[in-house]
């Protein structure tokens, strides 16, 4: 792994590790700055097959005492990905304790490696993540968007079914060379029913980067 703590701090414009989660969360909502940051990270590390932040987050931010946050080793993630591989599935994968995205990234990489660059489209697969930690969410969203994935992230308690927000990560152009966009779902009865949310814990965030159906959805419903 080429990305070091000082690289993360420099790109995000912070001096201390405790500033990183809030700086990254703020960056996530600025599409232009976010994608420039993505470019800078990729200049340092182009291999997207693993979670760049695994060791950084575990060393600097994981709450092992209160929340028992220990992240799945890459070797175990690869084994689990092989176990759940199913050619007859509908292309959807769910992780109820998403962390910074290690398991989902491993599964995504396994999914795309089934194809050549000429017959792989991000719309073939969809990923669902649930995560409780406020500190973890920015890293998870970052990891999904820089890889051009289509995903939903529920920020909340998977057991209590309470949530702060539901994030929809969308590869608008269905192009694996493009970054994904970010939409935050409204706190409506429809959304609560769809994602089995019993209670909203924070006010809704008004952030929509795509108000129309993506191109590949338009082709289906046309």
Dump pLDDT digits (tens) for 89-124: 667 888 888 889 988 999 999 999 999 999 999 999
Give the predicted TM-score (pTM) of the model: 0.87
| Contact of 97 with 130, CB cutoff 8 Å | yes
What does the pLDDT look like over 63-88, one tens digit per residue? Answer: 444 444 555 555 554 555 555 555 54
Angle at 36 between CA 97 and CA 102, to 5 degrees: 20
């Amino acid at each position: 792994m080429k990305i070091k703590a000082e690289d993360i701090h420099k790109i995000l414009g912070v001096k201390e590790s405790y500033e990183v989660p809030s700086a990254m969360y703020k960056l996530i909502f600025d599409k232009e700055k976010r994608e420039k940051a993505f470019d800078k990270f990729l200049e340092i590390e182009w291999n997207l097959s693993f979670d760049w932040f695994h060791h950084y987050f575990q060393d600097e931010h994981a709450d092992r005492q209160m929340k028992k946050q220990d992240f799945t080793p890459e070797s175990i993630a690869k084994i689990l990905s092989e176990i759940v591989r199913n050619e007859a599935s509908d292309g959807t994968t769910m992780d109820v304790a998403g962390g910074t995205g290690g398991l989902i990234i491993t599964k995504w990489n396994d999914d795309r490696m089934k194809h050549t660059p000429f017959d792989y489209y991000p719309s073939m697969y969809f990923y669902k993540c649930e995560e409780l930690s406020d500190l973890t969410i920015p890293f998870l969203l970052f990891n999904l968007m820089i890889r051009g994935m289509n995903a939903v992230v529920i920020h909340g308690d998977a057991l209590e079914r309470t949530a702060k927000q539901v994030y929809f990560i969308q590869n608008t152009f269905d192009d694996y060379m493009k970054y994904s966009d970010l939409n935050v779902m409204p706190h409506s009865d429809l959304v609560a029913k769809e994602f089995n949310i019993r209670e909203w814990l924070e006010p809704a965030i008004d952030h929509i980067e795509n108000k129309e159906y993506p191109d590949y959805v338009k082709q289906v419903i046309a």
